[in-house]
Structure 1
Amino acid sequence: MPLTKPNQQLRRDLKEAAALLKWSGVDLIQAAVRLSEAGQEDEAKELMILALSYQATEDKLAGYAEEVKAGGIVRDRGE
């Protein structure tokens, strides 16, 4: 059964948010590498922790998008 328009939008929004987190995490990792190379290991470590939390949240959002696709999560009304 195809997704309703509100559910299609929800899935797109979740996938978009997940992609934004993914690329933000990549940018943070690159910044952490530069900081580490500059001898600022404490700051680099903090950025790596943040990047890993982005990755975990990205995985959750991607999972939610798949649940929407499978019909396990349904939007009742369009927003």
Structure 2
Amino acid sequence: MPLPKPNQELRRDLKQAAATLKWAGVDLFGVAKRLLAAGDEQGANDLMEIALQFQETEDKLEGYSEEVKAGRIVRAGLE
């Protein structure tokens, strides 16, 4: 049975947010590598820590989107 439209939108939004975090994390790792090459180890470590936090949040959002798909999370009606 297909998801109701509000739940489809919620799932899509969660997946989009997760994808945005993924690519932001990839970009941060790239900048961190350049900082490390330039000798800024502390700055590189700080950016890598942020990127890892993005990855953890991305994983959570992906999990939530799967819960929406399974019907364990539903969007309440908007009034």
Give RMSD over aligned pairs: 1.1
CA deviations 1:36-58 (Å, max 9, x no partner) are: 00000000000000000000000
Identity of aligned residues (%): 66
CA distance in 1, matches of 2:22, 2:78: 27
Partner of 1:48: 48
Aligned to 2:8: 8
The answer as to whether partners of 1:6 and 1:78 remain within 8 angstroms in 2 is no
TM-score, normalising length from structure 1?
A: 0.97
Q: Say yes or no: does 1:33 pair with 2:59.
A: no
Amino acid at match of 1:11: R
Q: Which runs of 4+ in 1 moved over 6 A?
A: none
| CA distance in structure 2 between the partners assigned to 1:62 and 1:27 by the alignment | 20
What code does the residue aligned with 1:52 have?
A: L
Tell me the TM-score normalised to structure 2 length: 0.97
Query: Post-superposition shift, 1:71?
Result: 0.3
SS in 2 for 1:68: helix
Q: Structure 1: where are the runs of 5+ without partners?
A: none
